[in-house]
């Protein structure tokens, strides 16, 4: 159990780490007047990776699946370029379709579909049901668009097409059984690729609708980049994010966002690396590719959208670029293991990394800053952090390329904090070798990762106490206990008290992965689960949220005593952890208490300097069955409960069994 207590601008965390019965009264002492130790106010952020269908079919609000006909059996054996699409031939309609790549809309978007219609009957066209059904809401508006090219008689694509002017295309929203929910005339295509667009208002709600595009006269047409977007995206952004899912993420109040992923970044081969330049500009010109996790990524959610989301939620961007090598573990995903970009190509790759910094921070008059401005963002995004590499095997090939990138970035942009990598585990050969490189180059920060049993977290809350403050700082970029039960969340809460205590050496941390679409997960556990219609924050989510909302910039060492345990370390060993912080901006003090045990504890919280705080504070308790899971059946099995708190020199309260408690003491205004 974890409890958080805020006194003025100080926050205290108390955590019970074991399941041993502890019935003693616990006395927690906090000196709100103490100078304390400066810690990072930006400790908790989020890590986004397109895994578990987190982007297409998830956070990215596009409702059409395979909108550009680029799906491939190399991604999934049963896939073709027409996956997700259905040929519509109603009431005597006669037509056929094929996929073509001879005259593409754009070289990065090579394939399109050709419709050849001899009779329209009562409906001739194609339909798409999105990612398991398109969700529509009555009265809401949806923007439909596509690129079309009229095929005239004698065209090598469509020798049977009729002479004459092309007829308009119609876009229709339908139920699964064909009931019309909305319709719009898109206009007629021309003999060159032309974008056609319209807006449709849904007549009623439906969770399993589809988009239908119909021809209104015989003839031939090429179609590509067929899109349907709700106008109600997060913050109303064009090409934006699913509003409810993005809001749940925003409600974490993350201080930074790491993107576009972990293993996704370096890809399963050199030609599958995530190259940021392929993800910006008009969506029809972006280069989608196979996702390392086994499906397709359209990169409609690209670097511009990531930066924009960071700005929208007030979080610092933390992009991660490949360190010049591909993933060592991807051979089973049709990869070849770790390979390095040829050294004679590294100068170009390094320039690509430098161009990213210019894209984020350069003036609108610069080459890449101008491209950012063209997308609608004339002002810089304020990039401060740049990750180079992710869980890489620390080989000579990796070291050579990482050093080349690191030195080039620091030479041109000394203001950028470059974050190195020390492998996927909390110890071992790559961990040691990565730290050795960091020591040699004096890298400002390294990225540690570990997914572990909850018992490991409970036994290692003091991991960073002994870290050398003269070495690189640590970004704990991916971490979680292996499970979404409340017991897992409490173990993470206990560990977070240790991260708060050491937020001078660990200034950044992010739970991973962030999102998992139910029925489409390649990895569990995740922080937030979702379907097309619902979002399910886990108990782990609420722990992260409580620590994020009640963070501080000064750590106040709490005294913990009572019973047979003499100090905080002994109490941690018996299952009870505490953290206290002060927030200098508000003057508040916050105390967090975690009790992982099966017995409640009576708390006596003594506050030196209590006169600086209002007489009424806030108490937030997260408690429940340690085996409980927030899922579709019990979405609110474990959620925080907030009450008022009488504040004085001594605060009497309880740390329930299996709980996190946060006490926030509000500074007098």
Catalytic residues: 391
Containing H/E element for 452?
Answer: strand 445-452
Find the radius of gyration of the CA atoms of the chain. Answer: 28
Contact 417, 445 (CB under 8 A): yes
364/369 Cα distance (integer angstroms): 5
Bridge partners (DSSP) of residue 185 are 170
Closest CA to 410 of 420, 402, 418, 399: 418
Residue 561 three-state SS:
strand
> Per residue in 146-171, is it b (16+ CB within 10 Å) or e — as a string?
bbbbbbbeebebbeebbeeebbebbb
405/608 Cα distance (integer angstroms): 50
Phi, psi values for residue 416, rounded to 5° = -85, 130
**Burial group, residue 285, by CB count within 10 angstroms (0-12, 13-18, 19+):** middle
Bridge partners (DSSP) of residue 413 are none
> Could you tell me the two tokens for 95?
């037509």
Q: Please provide the distance, in angstroms rounded to a whole number, between the alpha carbons at the two ends of the chain.
A: 32
Q: Is the bond leading into 435 cis (omega within 30 degrees of zero)?
A: no
280/115 Cα distance (integer angstroms): 30
455/625 Cα distance (integer angstroms): 17
The torsion region of residue 91 among left (phi > 0), alpha (psi -120 to 50) and beta comes to left
């Amino acid at each position: 159990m974890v409890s958080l207590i805020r006194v003025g601008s100080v926050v205290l965390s108390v955590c019970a780490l074991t399941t041993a019965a502890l019935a003693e009264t616990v006395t927690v002492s906090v000196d709100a007047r103490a100078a304390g130790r400066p810690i990072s106010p930006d400790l908790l952020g989020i890590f986004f990776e397109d895994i578990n269908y987190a982007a297409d079919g998830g956070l990215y609000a596009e409702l059409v699946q395979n909108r550009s006909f680029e799906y491939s059996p190399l991604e999934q054996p049963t896939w073709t370029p027409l996956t997700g699409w259905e040929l519509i031939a109603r009431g005597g309609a006669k037509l056929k379709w094929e996929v073509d790549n001879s005259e593409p809309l754009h070289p990065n978007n090579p394939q399109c579909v050709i419709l050849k219609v001899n009779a329209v009957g009562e409906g001739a066209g194609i339909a798409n049901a999105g990612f398991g059904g398109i969700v529509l809401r009555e009265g809401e508006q949806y923007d439909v668009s596509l690129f079309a090219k009229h095929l005239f008689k004698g065209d090598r694509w469509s020798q049977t097409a009729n002479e004459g002017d092309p007829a308009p295309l119609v876009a229709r929203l339908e139920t699964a059984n064909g009931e019309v929910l909305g319709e719009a005339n898109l206009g007629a295509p021309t003999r060159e690729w032309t974008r056609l667009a319209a807006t449709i208002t849904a007549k009623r709600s439906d969770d399993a609708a589809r988009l239908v595009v119909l021809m209104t006269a015989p003839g031939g047409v090429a179609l590509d980049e067929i899109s349907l977007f709700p106008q109600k995206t997060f913050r109303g952004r064009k090409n934006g994010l699913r509003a409810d899912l993005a809001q749940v993420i925003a409600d974490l109040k993350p201080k930074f966002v790491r993107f576009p992923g972990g293993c996704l970044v370096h890809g399963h081969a050199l030609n599958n690396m995530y190259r940021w330049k392929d993800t910006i500009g008009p969506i029809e010109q972006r280069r989608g590719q196979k996702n390392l996790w086994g499906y397709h990524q359209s990169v409609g959610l690209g670097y511009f959208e990531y930066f924009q989301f960071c700005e929208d939620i007030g979080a610092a961007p933390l992009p991660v670029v490949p360190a010049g090598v591909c993933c060592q573990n991807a051979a089973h995903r049709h990869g070849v293991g770790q390979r390095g970009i040829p050294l004679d190509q590294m100068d170009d790759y390094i320039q690509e990394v430098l161009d990213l910094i210019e894209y984020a921070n350069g003036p609108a008059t610069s080459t890449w800053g101008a491209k950012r401005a063209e997308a609608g963002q004339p002002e810089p995004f304020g990039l401060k952090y740049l990750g180079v590499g992710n869980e890489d095997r620390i080989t000579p090939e990796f070291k050579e390329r990482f050093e080349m990138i690191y030195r080039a970035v620091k030479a041109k942009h000394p203001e950028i904090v470059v974050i190195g990598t020390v492998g996927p585990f909390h110890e071992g050969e790559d961990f040691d070798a990565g730290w050795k490189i960091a020591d040699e180059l004096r890298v400002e920060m390294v990225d540690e990762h570990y997914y572990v049993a909850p018992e490991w977290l409970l036994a290692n809350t003091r991991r960073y106490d002994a870290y050398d403050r003269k070495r690189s700082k640590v970004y704990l970029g991916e971490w979680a206990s292996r499970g979404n039960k409340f017991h897992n969340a409490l173990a993470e809460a206990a560990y977070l008290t240790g991260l708060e205590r050491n937020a001078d050496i660990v200034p950044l941390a992010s739970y991973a992965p962030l999102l998992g679409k139910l029925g489409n997960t390649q990895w569990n556990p995740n922080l937030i689960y979702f379907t097309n219609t619902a979002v399910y924050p886990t108990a782990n989510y609420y722990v992260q949220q409580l620590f994020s909302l009640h963070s501080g910039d000064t750590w106040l060492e709490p005294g913990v005593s009572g019973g047979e345990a003499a100090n905080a370390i002994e109490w941690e060993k018996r299952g009870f952890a505490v953290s206290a912080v002060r927030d200098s901006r508000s003057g508040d003090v916050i105390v967090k208490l975690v009790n992982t045990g099966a017995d409640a504890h009576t708390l006596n919280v003594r506050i030196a300097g209590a006169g600086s705080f209002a007489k009424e504070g806030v108490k937030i308790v997260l408690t429940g069955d340690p085996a409980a899971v927030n899922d579709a059946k019990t979405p609110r099995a474990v959620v925080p409960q907030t009450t008022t708190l009488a504040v004085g020199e001594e605060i009497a309260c309880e740390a329930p069994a299996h709980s996190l408690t946060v006490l926030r003491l509000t500074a007098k205004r």
